[in-house]
Amino acid sequence: MFGPLGFSLAPYIQSSKTLTSWVKPLANWYANAAGYRQYGFKYDDLLVEENEPVQKALSRLTPREHYDRAFRLKRASQASILHKPLEKNEWTPAAEDVRYLKPHVLEVMKEDAERHKWDTVVVEKK
């Protein structure tokens, strides 16, 4: 439950149409209010990366994704030093705020789970 991606109710909420229509505006407001988009980040840039699954997932990004991630981190650090968000035209639009890392993390977690399964498998003769 508390994997590298953290706890999330999103799958449950997305399974219900009514709940989605209620929560979505709130979620969008929250994502904008959190302020990371004002610093040019995408949500997955904030993912805690000091653990093995995420490190492995990061190694699976394409070179282009790697470069862009490093660029966003540097630009945000500079903005942080200046104590000032980026210019408005550099904010991350909601459409570009995609989970580019999450699928890789999920894949790595699935592989780890499968490795654990095979490491601890009990073989029975039929």
Partner 1 sequence: MLSARALNLQRITASSSSRTFATAVADAASGVRVAAVDFGQPTSAVTVLVKAGSRFQNKEGVANVLKNFAFKSTAKRSAIGTVREAELYGGLLSASLGREHLALTAEFLRGDEAFFVDVLSSFVTSARFTRHELEEYVKPLVESDAEAVASNPATRALEAAHALAFRSGLGSSLFAPAHNDINVADIKAFASSAFAKGNVAVIGTNIDSSTLNKLVEQSFTAATAAEGSTAAPASKYFGGETRLEGSGGPQTLFIGFGAEGAPSAELAALAAHLSTQPSVKWSKSLSPIATAIPEGAQVQSVYLPYSDASLFGLLVQAESVGGVKEAAKVAVEALRNAAKGLKEEEVKGAVARAKFAAASGVESREGLVNVLGAKIFAGSEVSVESTLSAFDKVNAASFSKAVSSLISAKPTLVTVGDSLNLPHTDELGF
Query: What does the binding site for partner 1 look like in residue numbers (CB under 8 A)?
Result: 59-60, 62, 104, 107, 111, 114-115, 118, 121, 123
Contact yes or no for 55/108 (Cβ under 8 A): no
Q: Kindly tell me which of 15 and 62 has the beta carbon lying closer to partner 1.
A: 62
Q: Kindly tell me which of 6 and 63 has the beta carbon lying closer to partner 1.
A: 63
For the bound state, the minimum distance from the C-beta of residue 77 to partner 1, rounded and expressed in Å, comes to 28
Q: Kindly tell me which of 96 and 114 has the beta carbon lying closer to partner 1.
A: 114
Burial 80-98, CB ≥16 within 10 A → b, else e: eeeeebbeeeebbeeeebe
The one-letter code for the residue type at 69 is R
